[in-house]
Amino acid sequence: MFEAVTSTRNRRLLLNILRVVVSGGLLVWVVATIEIDELLNLVRDAEIGLLALAYVLAVIGLLLRALRWQLLLNAVGVSVQFGRIVYLYFVGQFFSTFLPTGFAGDAMKVLEIGEKVDRAEATGTVIVDRLSGFVSLFLIGAIALPFAGSLVPQELAALIGILAMGVLGGSILLFEGRLLAWITSPLPNALSLSGDGFLGHTYSAIVACGGRAVLRAVAISTLFNLEWMTAIYILAQALHISVSFGHVVLFTPLAVTALLFPFAVSGLGVREGLYVTLYTQPGVDLTSTAATGLGLATFTLDLCNSLIGGVLYLMAGARRIMEKQNDKLE
């Protein structure tokens, strides 16, 4: 048993090292394509007021996502104070940014939500929380295609449309509940979505959210995604980078999807490389440096929330230590 645990730890260590290497390698490749002096000029000439506005929007966006998760928790009968959920979202952002895995923040939210909350229910609502964001994001992209499709090559427009249909179709299949449960019913109990194991309980929580709560979550996600796209557009204006809001709307779903790439730390390198690919194509015509600058600026939106989360987590840890010390003295 000890050997099995050691082997698992070694695999995780190697995977984390791989993520760091991949992110580092991609960043080196991106940096090799840009002019450092031009990038520094972008930063030096940035309009501070617009940057501050973008960061304020990023914080408001986090509050909207916290509200979305609370709605889903309430739908399955779980009551958690909004302040606690906001705290968990900030802390989750910190772990997602600084740990070499894209789902560390989700795991921390589930682990820290409270002992009285069933882990499977919390996990199910976190999955729906994430998925509602993707559904909304690609719906926005698909709706924008008829109006802004001329801004991108036909192949890219087709890719956005295909991904939108795939996300929507997969979501309907997931929320429908009965078909996936029936398909997985022959599997062992631990792997069956209709069983009474952890996966079964988690899937029950996903289905239990109900259509009304899911639609409300998608509505909140739509507001958040439009706000997030606005923040990216404002960042571009702050850096004097000439892009249209239509480009931001069409490219953001692809950029967010790429961030699910499992072998990168917080999407570093992947995001910037994709921005260079998308924003330097004919019709957009940014330089590699400007596209990279916009990608790095977008990363700082999450980074600011992450730093707030780190401070909150540190303060909470210090408070728990002090409480334990006081209990010992008593």
Closest CA to 88 of 57, 122, 55: 122
The Cα 294–Cα 38 span in angstroms is 13
Domains held by the chain: number: 1
Q: What is residue 17's predicted lDDT score, i.e. its pLDDT?
A: 58
DSSP characters over 1-61: -HHHHHHHHHHHHHHHHHHHHHHHHHHHHHHHTS-HHHHHHHHHT--HHHHHHHHHHHHHH
When pLDDT is averaged across residues 220-248 and rounded to a whole number, the result is 92
pLDDT band at 275 (very low <50, low <70, confident <90, very high): confident
Q: What is the mean pLDDT of residues 1-17?
A: 52
- Interval 99-128: pLDDT, tens: 755 567 888 888 888 778 888 888 999 999
Distance CA 201, CA 97 (A): 29
Could you tell me the residue range of the domain that residue 78 belongs to?
2-329
- What whole-number distance in Å separates Cα of residue 119 and Cα of residue 73? 12
Q: Is the pLDDT of residue 24 over 60?
A: no
- Would you place residue 1 in the very low, low, confident or very high pLDDT band (cuts 50, 70, 90)? very low
The arithmetic mean of pLDDT across residues 81-92, rounded, is 93
**205-222, pLDDT tens digit by residue?**
888 888 899 999 999 999
Spell out the residues 6+ positions from residue 118 whose beta carbon is closer than 8 angstroms to its own.
78, 201, 205
Tens digits of residue pLDDT in 141-190: 888 877 766 777 777 777 778 888 888 888 888 888 888 888 888 888 88
DSSP states of 164-199 as a string? HHHHHHHHHHHHH-HHHHHHHTTS-TTT-TTSSSHH
Answer yes or no: is pLDDT of 238 > 90.
yes
- Asked if the model's pLDDT at residue 86 lies above 90, the reply is yes
Angstrom distance (rounded) from CA 230 to CA 225: 8
- What pLDDT score was predicted for residue 66? 95
Query: Considering the chain, what is the average pLDDT of its residues?
Result: 81
Write down the pTM of the prediction.
0.82
